[in-house]
């Protein structure tokens, strides 16, 4: 309890927290969909599970050390293409950095993101990747903030560079809020009662997985948009959401060493002349749920 009080004082007094008025200490996301390639020749059932933990430690009145862990698993069947059938794509990542209050208005988040992204078959250097993120937040008012940043990561296809632009806004009655860092994520939530709410969220990512033993890699370009209904327990600390939406994730299969260099969002700066080994996937509906352990600030 003493630790939580100290944490709250630091977050409230100096704006070290994310722009929102809450902190998600743990989050579990589950989704399931059936994707079909654009030619209609292959259909695959895909299950995606994402688990995140965050542990903030106040260092002084301006700095909070951030440590955390992210694990994601995607189960997919490639139907024997290039000798590949069922694969469990796993990403494990450390989140290491700090939030620093630069002034009364400006707060910065700086994270190093080393990770392993692979099918964990014959692990090697190609399975290890490294990313980083820098995000500045400007407080216009307590209920309105804007965000500006950059994310970059080394991937099997080259380097990914993602500019970030975001906003946080909460209405005076606290019934509605929107929290976004485009193009990576967005959440809009409206509270019907103290415990029941509905809303929408967007989650996107571009990353790669090395496939050990078959000399190939997968480039995942994921966009998942969902509507949800949520219910909170334990004085709003535990939130459970059921969701349904549109999954436009594509899983491109390429030969190892076939790269594009630098890529900004989905655009390869030097052009993309790689030979893709499978067809693109069409978008489809998905269903899922979230379990969130949240601390209100």
3-state SS, one letter per residue, for the chain: CHHHHHHHHHHHHHCCCCCCCEEEEEEEEEEEEEEEECCCCCEEEEEEEEEEEEEEEECCCCEEEEEEEEEEEEEEEEEEECCEEEEEEEEEEEEEEEEEECCCCEEEEEEEEEEEEECCCCCCHHHEEEEEEEEEEEEEECCEEEEEEEEEEEECCEEEEEEEEEEEEECCCCCEEEEEEECCEEEEEEECCCCEEEEEEEEEEEEEEEECCCCEEEEEEEEEEEEEEEEEECCCCEEEEEEEEEECCEEEEEECCCCCEEEECCEECCCCCCCCCCCCECCEEEEEEEEEEEEEC
Please list, residue by residue across 105-142, b when 16 or more beta carbons sit within 10 angstroms of its beta carbon and e when fewer do. eebbbbbebebbbbbeeeeeebbebebbbebbbebeee
Q: Which pLDDT does position 246 carry in this prediction?
A: 96
Q: Which pLDDT does position 275 carry in this prediction?
A: 93
| Out of 81-85, 87-91, 267-271, least confident range | 81-85
- Answer with the residue of higher pLDDT: 268 or 182: 182
Collect all residues with Cβ–Cβ distance below 8 Å to 265 and sequence separation of at least 6: 161, 162, 163, 183, 206
Q: Confidence band (pLDDT; 50, 70, 90) for 123? A: confident
Q: Confidence band (pLDDT; 50, 70, 90) for 261? A: confident
- Answer with the residue of higher pLDDT: 38 or 115: 115
Exposed (0-12), middle (13-18) or buried (19+): which is 51, by Cβ within 10 Å? Answer: middle
State the average pLDDT over residues 85-93: 90
- And the tokens for 158? 């080259």
Assess whether pLDDT exceeds 50 at residue 149.
yes
Residue with structure tokens 């909070």?
64
Q: What is the CA radius of gyration of the chain?
A: 20
Q: Confidence band (pLDDT; 50, 70, 90) for 101? A: very high
State the average pLDDT over residues 248-260: 92
**Cross-strand pairs, 128:** 116
Q: Confidence band (pLDDT; 50, 70, 90) for 20? A: low
Q: Which pLDDT does position 141 carry in this prediction?
A: 82
Assess whether pLDDT exceeds 60 at residue 267.
yes
Q: Which domains does the chain have, with CATH numbers?
A: 2-296 (2.40.160)
CA 255 to CA 210: how far, in whole Å?
A: 10
Question: Are 34 and 275 a contacting pair, CB within 8 Å?
Answer: no
Question: Are 151 and 184 a contacting pair, CB within 8 Å?
Answer: yes
| Out of 4-13, 184-193, 239-248, least confident range | 4-13
Assess whether pLDDT exceeds 50 at residue 13.
no
State the average pLDDT over residues 55-70: 92
Distances in whole angstroms, Cα of residue 179 to Cα of each of 23, 184, 201, 221, 247: 12, 11, 9, 22, 21
Assess whether pLDDT exceeds 70 at residue 188.
yes
Assess whether pLDDT exceeds 70 at residue 66.
yes
CA 181 to CA 95: how far, in whole Å?
A: 17
Q: Which pLDDT does position 182 carry in this prediction?
A: 92
Q: Which pLDDT does position 37 carry in this prediction?
A: 84
**pLDDT 10s digits, 209-252:** 999 878 899 999 999 999 999 999 887 789 999 999 999 999 99
Of 42-46, 78-82, 98-102, give the range with the top mean pLDDT.
98-102
């Amino acid at each position: 309890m003493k630790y939580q009080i100290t944490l709250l004082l630091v977050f409230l007094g100096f704006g070290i927290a994310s722009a929102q008025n809450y902190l998600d200490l743990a989050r579990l996301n589950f989704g399931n969909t059936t994707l079909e390639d654009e030619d209609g020749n292959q259909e695959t059932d895909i299950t995606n599970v994402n688990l995140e933990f965050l542990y903030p430690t106040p260092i002084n009145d301006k700095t909070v050390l951030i440590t955390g862990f992210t694990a994601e698993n995607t189960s997919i069947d490639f139907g024997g293409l290039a000798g590949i059938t069922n694969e469990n794509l796993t990403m494990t990542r450390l989140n290491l950095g700090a939030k620093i209050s630069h002034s009364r208005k400006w707060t910065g988040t700086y994270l190093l993101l080393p990770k392993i992204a692979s099918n964990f078959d014959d692990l090697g250097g190609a399975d290890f990747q490294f990313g980083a993120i820098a995000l500045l937040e400007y407080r216009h008012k307590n209920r309105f903030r804007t965000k500006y940043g950059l994310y970059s990561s080394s991937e099997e296809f080259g380097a990914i560079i993602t500019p970030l632009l975001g906003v946080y806004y909460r209405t005076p009655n606290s019934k509605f809020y929107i929290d976004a860092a485009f193009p990576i994520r967005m959440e809009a939530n409206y509270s019907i009662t103290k415990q029941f709410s509905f809303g929408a969220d967007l989650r996107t990512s571009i990353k790669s997985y090395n496939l050990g033993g078959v000399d190939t890699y997968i480039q995942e370009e994921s966009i998942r948009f969902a509507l949800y209904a949520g219910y909170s327990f334990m004085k709003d600390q535990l939130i459970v959401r059921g969701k349904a939406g549109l999954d436009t994730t594509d899983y491109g299969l390429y030969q190892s060493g076939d790269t594009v260099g630098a890529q900004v969002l989905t655009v390869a700066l030097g052009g993309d002349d790689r030979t893709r080994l499978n067809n693109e996937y069409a978008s489809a509906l998905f269903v899922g749920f979230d379990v969130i352990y949240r601390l209100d600030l």
